[in-house]
Structure 1
């Protein structure tokens, strides 16, 4: 297929996923639309498709209103919070020591300082959960405030946990300063709900009868409030376009195009489902390739590899060095490639070098739009991965 046709298909895919659909939280109707779109796309290219289903919550994000001394203070609901309508005195708490001494029954806890310096990891997140975070959550559950207001330096939710039952919101330092300088009564209304739902990993396979496979991954979900162009509509598009370019006769192994669902969900249910079912025999996976955040206009496409043997490294080096506009960088841990790295599976990851500069300001926000994307860089990544798959058979014998 000529690149001009790939450009047209890429534009079509990105506009459908990131513009027409946009936000696609795991378990939401928009998320299910992308599942169905990808399933049909892969099937039309002759792939066998499995929908690996799992249970999750559908977060109905709405609005929140905080009132103090007759004035409304702008706040946002924490992701996956429960709703509430509460009025009560508030208690300012800056440290864990203060939290231990506090009495919060029927009161609203206003957390700031060291307690809101970073996002608190969800209770059930399996890979990283510092003892300090666990202690904060445990103390809050023991103290049982009517609700929580977090005063934050960054515009991000401190709590993002469907297993945490205390209603909460977050407010900027500028807007929340009035609370820290005063005392009194607050009224907090959160219009939000979470409902039982389901999601699915979309797993497309060529040569499914082969016992060993090469896996190419991307995640199809987003955070709340973002159209998720870089994170990760471009990754989805790469896998869909690859399904048009690679045929069963191009290889003597199984090719698995894996759209994981839940990378931006608090308990990564899709990733855990895949690990439990398909990563029990890691020796069957020849190579894993992850695509996340590819195509940023600013900066080159970035690649790293780990756990690869010398033949695979030589193949990768040859292709990347022949491909202008790509650079090798040190490994990073954020992303679905970590599932494979933990199992010591040969792994390659593609992203954008410049993406690390906008993690706090663009990614996971309403600013992550298709205007940020360089289509040519995405197509180049498609072609590089296509070449890797086709040459893997020839240059790295089974």
Structure 2
């Protein structure tokens, strides 16, 4: 499985050639293990970008184009906004709008994101579209949820105002240019092209099923990261689990989610449609995301578990020195299942929030961040959980038969 982990650890956003080839590789691996394969096609976008900058006289300040931004090449005066109230009152039509401070504390969810689109984000997006600036420059800092610094405020192919981001160290300089009212040139070299991809689902059915257990790990990455920890390590654990798992009680779906890092989550939406068409009871959803960070243990958190299942799971954790109880979190492929009330288990690194996140979504997320020796025990723990659930169900059936 180490070789597989190494093979996966390369930039692989959904729709790209690398992603397409890796989907085929994972598909063949699961097929060869005896799983039946369903292939769910979907449309997506591939993004390309180049050098982008603010220019005035002989001075040039490099900026990073927002992923999936529209392109821009023009001139305009800078209008700076630091609060929502200022945005509500400003007239910035045909200006280059600079967002900073209170407006750029955290990334904005993609427009109409299917699983979570908070009202405050929706309000900002609607205001920006109403104000009609020529382009937007977001002054941002360190993302609290990954290693990006500066982070893109927008990552949304449905938001059609060209945008880019720049670090907070440039705020004074940008502020001064805005107050001087001097026109600047802005180049945002960014374009997106239509593409197609697939969500594969590998299944094994039990003869007398007590429901379905879903085990998933997203296989795609953001741009500009090899994604070793996030989430080649998770896919390695997923495939190791698939290889060793033998459930005679529950139907099993192995799902290498292929668009978790994409603004539309298209692959997961296709899988959810498939589940809705099947009307099969889901006993448990397990999501594996960024496990096996060097120097950490494997952390397990749960959502919506019944008390007996929670006790069983806690007992397994207590008896495994490589596994610990983790914090609940709501940013991953498990989230829509939680919202549906489905029992969920989330598998990650024990230092996910205070160590591992520093590497994710950055070029630093290389194989050096991964403890290869943690893949097998993490997969074995998931097998132990499923075996324990199966044994519990078999015992229940015996009691009924008596």
With structure 2 as the length reference, what TM-score do the two structures score? 0.89
In 1, are the aligned partners of 2:51 and 2:62 still within 8 Å (CA)? no
Aligned partner (choices 331, 334, 359) of residue 334 of structure 1: 331
**CA, structure 1 residues 282+113, in 2 after alignment: closer, same or farther (shift >3 Å)?**
farther
Query: In structure 2, what is the equivalent of residue 17 of structure 1?
Result: 8
Q: Alpha-carbon deviation of 1:314?
A: 4.0
CA deviations 1:116-171 (Å, max 9, x no partner) are 12211211112332322222211221221221111112210001111001111100
1:291 equivalent in alignment to 2:288 = yes
Query: In structure 2, what is the equivalent of residue 107 of structure 1?
Result: 95
Pick which of 308-317 and 283-292 moved more: 308-317
Query: In structure 1, what is the equivalent of residue 75 of structure 2?
Result: 87
Q: Matched residue of 2:113: which SS?
A: coil
Alpha-carbon separation, structure 2, partners of 1:177 and 1:237: 46
Q: Alpha-carbon deviation of 1:180?
A: 0.9
Query: In structure 2, what is the equivalent of residue 177 of structure 1?
Result: 172
**CA, structure 1 residues 107+359, in 2 after alignment: closer, same or farther (shift >3 Å)?**
farther
Pick which of 304-313 and 267-276 moved more: 304-313
Q: Alpha-carbon deviation of 1:280?
A: 6.2
Aligned partner (choices 118, 124, 127) of residue 139 of structure 1: 127
Give RMSD over aligned pairs: 2.0
In 1, are the aligned partners of 2:76 and 2:95 still within 8 Å (CA)? yes
Q: Alpha-carbon deviation of 1:208?
A: 7.1
Query: In structure 1, what is the equivalent of residue 184 of structure 2?
Result: 186
In 2, are the aligned partners of 1:251 and 1:390 still within 8 Å (CA)? no
1:121 equivalent in alignment to 2:116 = no
Q: Matched residue of 1:35: which SS?
A: helix
Pick which of 386-395 and 297-306 moved more: 386-395
**CA, structure 1 residues 241+299, in 2 after alignment: closer, same or farther (shift >3 Å)?**
closer
Q: How many residues align?
A: 384
Alpha-carbon separation, structure 2, partners of 1:359 and 1:372: 8
Aligned partner (choices 359, 368, 372) of residue 371 of structure 1: 368
Query: In structure 2, what is the equivalent of residue 206 of structure 1?
Result: 204
In 2, are the aligned partners of 1:92 and 1:111 still within 8 Å (CA)? yes
Q: Alpha-carbon deviation of 1:283?
A: 5.8
Alpha-carbon separation, structure 1, partners of 2:310 and 2:141: 42
Pick which of 316-325 and 263-272 moved more: 316-325
In 1, are the aligned partners of 2:298 and 2:322 still within 8 Å (CA)? yes
Query: In structure 2, what is the equivalent of residue 156 of structure 1?
Result: 151
CA deviations 1:186-237 (Å, max 9, x no partner) are 2111222111112222210112776632111111111121111111111111
In 1, are the aligned partners of 2:50 and 2:189 still within 8 Å (CA)? yes
**CA, structure 1 residues 127+161, in 2 after alignment: closer, same or farther (shift >3 Å)?**
same
In 2, are the aligned partners of 1:311 and 1:395 still within 8 Å (CA)? no
Alpha-carbon separation, structure 2, partners of 1:359 and 1:301: 12
Pick which of 388-397 and 146-155 moved more: 388-397
Q: Which runs of 5+ in 2 are unaligned?
A: 143-149, 398-402
Aligned partner (choices 46, 50, 56) of residue 34 of structure 2: 46
In 2, are the aligned partners of 1:362 and 1:368 still within 8 Å (CA)? yes
With structure 1 as the length reference, what TM-score do the two structures score? 0.90
1:27 equivalent in alignment to 2:15 = yes
Q: Which runs of 5+ in 1 are unaligned?
A: 1-9
Q: Matched residue of 2:353: which SS?
A: helix
Query: In structure 2, what is the equivalent of residue 5 of structure 1?
Result: none
Q: Matched residue of 1:317: which SS?
A: helix
In 2, are the aligned partners of 1:126 and 1:267 still within 8 Å (CA)? yes
In 2, are the aligned partners of 1:337 and 1:347 still within 8 Å (CA)? yes
Alpha-carbon separation, structure 2, partners of 1:37 and 1:352: 26
Mapping 1:61-100, distance limit 5 Å = 61-100=49-88
Q: Alpha-carbon deviation of 1:282?
A: 6.6
Alpha-carbon separation, structure 2, partners of 1:331 and 1:107: 43
Alpha-carbon separation, structure 2, partners of 1:210 and 1:74: 61
CA deviations 1:307-356 (Å, max 9, x no partner) are 22344334323332222121112321112122222222222111112111
